[in-house]
Structure 1
């Protein structure tokens, strides 16, 4: 006798079309970075590769699955990572490099940890904010005359930072959190791989 598993217990591939979520990350195109390119194009390509990787890790999951936390007391979830990366994009490109006086997305008080609390969040809310910040970041980077332009990072005692450093820092943030996303996704439905 076969036991019927609930929707949540079945992997994405086992679910019917009706059971799958209306996934804003569906159809993510992830293009591998070039092996030969100038510095700026290489940084752009690696950033976009890692942005797409995060979106791919969220493909096919319901809001509830995206809010699944790793283990107590951690509040880390895939949806929390998407929200956090929206904050990272905003803080480094809009606030530091572009000098915009904009609050964080999920905290007027500047609390970066608020983004990780995805208990009441939805895929559409988180992905809309993240995609908007990614587009702002791309626009700011493309408008910059060179990687040597600078801005100020208030969270680092108002330190002067170059666009080069910002792109590398954000790239490292994605790489680190995509590792977390690998483990979170595997724990949700067994999906592994980059």
Structure 2
């Protein structure tokens, strides 16, 4: 596995560039938390009693990318990747046959598709798909970017703790 490169977001960029660069920063932070570990380590639940793993976090974030960009913004009929009605948290649950290479490729493909879906939209454009349950309002692209940044930042904190327990590695 090659070590991912992470670029610090500009301190003076315009709004869209700022949002996209922070989202990319957090995407690459998660990749860095997984870099250099064995398949076994990526599947290790190292913060008992939680069963959370690094590969589970990546699977979850693939689902998050898919849900917000493909289903919510573009109204694509893109079904779930890893969860089901029988296992609503299936994105966090990996099996013995699940591999890092496959998980990583799926996650990267969802990121690439998210970029394609978002590219033609302005930040004010409203999604054609899923709406807020409470208000019935659609989500605009700005809201989706901010939410994804928040989601990655939260889970990168989890990834940091998991990684530290696995091999002592810490960092930003």
169-178 vs 152-161, which moves further: 152-161
Paired residue secondary structure (1:101): coil
| Deviation of the 1:104 alpha carbon | 1.0
User: CA RMSD of the aligned region, Å?
Assistant: 1.7
Q: Contact conserved, 1:85 with 1:174, CA < 8 A, in 2?
A: yes
Q: TM-score, normalised by structure 1?
A: 0.82
**Secondary structure of 2:119's aligned partner:** helix
Structure of larger gyration radius: 1
1:111: how far off? 5.4
Listed as ranges, the gaps of 5+ residues in structure 1 are 1-22
Give the match for residue 104 of structure 1.
80
1:59-90 Cα distance to aligned partner (Å, 9 max, x none): 11011100111334422110000000000000
8 A contact 1:87–1:115 mirrored in 2: yes
Hey, what does 1:141 align to over in structure 2?
Answer: 118
Contact 2:27 2:152 in 1 (8 A): yes
Q: Which runs of 5+ in 2 are unaligned?
A: none
Query: How big is the shift at 1:150?
Result: 0.9
| Residues 111, 38 of structure 1: alpha-carbon distance in 2 compared, 3 angstrom cutoff | farther
Count of aligned pairs: 169
- Write the distance in 1 (CA, Å) between the matches of 2:124 and 2:62: 24
Aligned position for 1:5: none
1:166 paired residue number: 144
